[in-house]
Chain A
């Protein structure tokens, strides 16, 4: 029979291979699901893995969704590496979007291009403030950051809802819950004509490089991670755990807020109740599937973006609910966690002695 035996040393091969195996298993489960629903599995695969990459425009759309996922995941990876469980990035994203939207609404016809910087800065500060609440309650009252950051997601949704149904509602918007469309001058510059990709993509990639430098090339980055791996050793070395907590939450809140600002001042162009698209939760999966490594997360953000676009296409082409995206995202994280067992354990055939 099959048995799991602990390895003497963690397997370097499986550390890299386990996300790929998890993806394969998820795809296999997806094929089975399509077949069970009476849809052509080949068509399903095509919708998820070929359609989103087959043209320059489609690739651009893929990057549009990968950008916020990567930016948020970078911040979350810093948190998880420091053993700070911020799972409320969705709320920090919303508050970033709200703050950025508030600044964008101030712009008039003769506002200069500098307003873009103000919009993005407001987003960062909004996200930081929201995450700062979690950090403060954890630091002052020892309140569990998982639960606090998650509760604040619901509160953030209500703040957004209040604003777009109330004081910020477009008076000329036929009573729809939305702000007026922001002035064109507040738009984050696009990278090229004919695609919705903005400079946000460059910011995300720069962020990945920055995180790599911080984690692996600076003393502060080292101190940050020791606190996560071995709190006692960190205390002995004099690394402050409070500092690590605040840094992790403020940085990840700022990143999520920036992603929110880039969304409203980019593809969305106004605030509506549909600003939260689940990027804050999907980014948790991006972070884990990317091994909490800046380079890995670039790939996993693109993968998760494929799932988003594939879900939308599955709805329009195959008549399946868009929520299939969430099914695959959840399945991928499950299979990844299971496959990770192979990093520390090996599977062996045991012959019965009898």
Chain B
């Protein structure tokens, strides 16, 4: 039983990286912008966060640096796509390629670097419960933050006026514009917020989850997070559940490797990617699920002057 409690704990931890990134991407997709640069933002943020912790010793400054890096790159992407109307797919790809190259280049000196000893966390009073304690209450604070963020997003998107405006911009930018809302500024704000969350996810990866820096360490998690918003049919609670599900697939892979099952490790490493393809195919085959929740103007440019 103890093993399963630890497996569950590891699952939540692994899912948190994906959840933070995918919730961020959900925000900018709800505003109608697809950012294929998630992988590049997460890589640069992972490096920025790691470097900040190496130099300052503070994890929280590391997370802040990651968010800053993600927000900065997202602003660059948003400026190009939203103001200059560049092709969003090509621009997002450019961001992913640049982010991979830049982080590899700038991160050379950090490959061997070590972080100060990683802190242990425990929720007072609850962490010592049998089974439940190790499973749920000894997590990094960001795991609970991702849950709070999901609830906050549900409230923001479906219960607040600002969230309604954000969704309007994603559904019908022309109507939002006619009502006097600054469509492009709202989209930019959503993109920057999404980038900051992707950055937080990247920094969580390098500062707490792994914790180290190697070139290309995000290993497709940015792309899986992009796929997650589609699987979750753009609903925040489903994004969180989907992220945990994928965290579970990742942990299953390590668990199988550790338990001495006679399967080459490469087949196990493939699992999350194959699972992404399988779920994507399964959900996308049901157009009525997708259409019900997909922002109607997703990926379509808007030019108020035209």
Chain A interface residues toward B at CB < 8 A? 4, 6, 85, 87, 137, 140-144, 146-148, 150-152, 154-155, 158-159, 161-162, 165-166, 281, 284-285, 288, 321, 323-331, 333-334, 337-338, 340-341, 344-345
Contacts and interface: CB of A to CB of B under 8 A. Distances in A.
Contact of A137 (B36, B40, B89, B277): B277
B105 to A, nearest CB: 4
B223 A162 contact: no
A140 B266 contact: no
B87 A154 contact: no
B99 interface: yes
A333 B92 CA distance: 10
Given A141-B284, A326-B102, A327-B98, A284 B277 contact: no
Contacts of A341: 84-86
A330 B97 CA distance: 5
A108 to B, nearest CB: 28
Interface of B: 36, 40, 76, 80, 84-87, 89-91, 93-95, 97-102, 104-105, 108, 215, 219-220, 223-224, 226-227, 230, 264, 266-267, 269-270, 273-274, 276-277, 280-282, 284-285, 287, 305-306
Nearest to A328: B101
Given A141-B281, A323-B104, A337-B90, A165 B266 contact: yes
15 contacts: A4-B84, A137-B280, A162-B264, A162-B266, A324-B105, A326-B98, A330-B94, A330-B95, A330-B100, A330-B101, A331-B98, A337-B84, A337-B87, A338-B86, A340-B86
A284 B244 CA distance: 33
Contacts, number: 140
Interface of B is mostly: helix
Given A150-B220, A158-B266, A338-B80, 5 more contacts: A4-B84, A140-B285, A142-B284, A330-B98, A341-B85
Contact of B90 (A144, A150, A333): A333
B164 to A, nearest CB: 28
A73 B225 CA distance: 27
A152 B95 CA distance: 20
Contact of B270 (A147, A158, A323): A158
Contact of B285 (A142, A161, A324, A345): A142
Nearest to B103: A323
Contacts of A166: 264, 266
Given A159-B266, A321-B105, A338-B86, A151 B285 contact: no
B89 A85 contact: yes
Contacts of A344: 85
Given A141-B285, A144-B230, A151-B276, A281 B270 contact: no
Contact of A6 (B80, B274, B285, B305): B305
Given A155-B270, A284-B93, A327-B102, A334 B280 contact: no
A148 B102 contact: no
B270 A148 contact: no
Contacts of B284: 141-144
A321 B108 contact: yes
B94 A337 contact: yes
A333 B273 contact: no
B280 A148 contact: yes
Q: Which of A6, A155, A344 has the most CB of B within 10 A?
A: A155
Contacts of A4: 84
A100 to B, nearest CB: 20
A166 B215 CA distance: 25
B113 to A, nearest CB: 15
A331 B86 CA distance: 15
Nearest to A327: B101
Contact of B105 (A87, A147, A327, A333): A327
A147 B97 contact: no
Contact of A281 (B97, B104, B285, B306): B97
Contacts of B280: 137, 141, 143-144, 147-148
Contacts of B98: 326-327, 329-331, 333-334
Contacts of B230: 144, 147
A284 B97 contact: yes
Contacts of A340: 86
Contacts of B281: 137, 140-141, 143, 148
A114 B156 CA distance: 66
A337 B266 CA distance: 37
Contacts of B105: 321, 323-324, 326-327
Contacts of A137: 277, 280-281
B226 A147 contact: yes
A154 B219 contact: yes
Given A326-B104, A334-B98, A155 B273 contact: yes
B11 to A, nearest CB: 21
B223 A155 contact: no
B285 A146 contact: no
Given A87-B93, A338-B84, A154 B36 contact: no
Contacts of A6: 305-306
Contacts of B267: 158, 162
A337 B264 contact: no
A325 B277 CA distance: 31
